[in-house]
Amino acid sequence: EMRVRERHGPRRKKTAGQTLLKERLLREATVLDADILKVSSFVNHMVDVEMMEACGEELAERLEKQQPTKVLTVEATGLLPAMFVAKALSLPCVFARKQRQISISDSYQTSYKSTVASTPQDLYVSTEYLNPSDRVLIIDDFLAGGRTADALVRLCKMANANVVGGGFLIEKAADAGRAFLSGYQIPLESIALVEVKDGTIHVIEQDSREAPAQLQSEVAAVARNFDDSPPDDDDDGLVRLSV
């Protein structure tokens, strides 16, 4: 029974999240207009809570060796996997806001480009909640172009906090997100690696990750030479795919 959880002792090779997410991706995810992956029925609009918790626990197991002290994500859909990672590791979860809050006097601020907005998106984190002593895990629902994760890393650098890893539910193999973030030299984990061929969604097995990684390395230098942002993560249930 996949809902059985190990509540005591160290976690060992949890794969229930990967299994559940793969099943839902293959059964329910759809490709719109050949370049948009829709997962809103189980990830970022209506949520499969059992699947989300299992994915959070699996990411926690993979990243706990980095000895994090805090989890950082971005509102709104990044909160879903991030809270379950934080719960599994007994850590606080901080989320970057997209609007400045009146109640927060001092905050770190950065911005990033998104394909779903005509102007750069700002992100804010209170100076109270990121500190030089923090060892931070960055968690989000998607790794696509890598711009959102990059912005979160920059916020941590402003606070002199140490980013020790990143975790994502779904990584898009055709985009350069992993390569774009490679300069930070932090371990990155994703529960599902997906690609689209002829309008069909494929989930790449974990032992086949080297091929997409090599492809991403080749396009990384090219991606960094362009001012236009690569396809990026969004939180409206629609994520652009390069086919």
Asked whether the predicted pLDDT for residue 175 surpasses 50, the reply is yes
What does the block give as tokens for 169? 């539910």
| pLDDT tens string 86-121 | 999 999 999 999 887 777 779 899 998 865 556 888
Q: List the Cα angle 21/164/79 in 5-degree steps.
A: 45
pLDDT, average across residues 11-39: 84
CB atoms within 10 A of CB 165: 21
pLDDT score of 77: 85
Helices 16-28 and 49-63: angle between axes, nearest 10 degrees: 130
| pLDDT tens string 26-79 | 999 998 875 678 999 999 899 999 999 999 999 999 999 999 999 999 998 899
Nearest to 165 by CA among 190, 196, 139, 186: 186
Q: pTM score, two decimals?
A: 0.80
What does the block give as tokens for 168? 């994502």
pLDDT, average across residues 144-158: 95
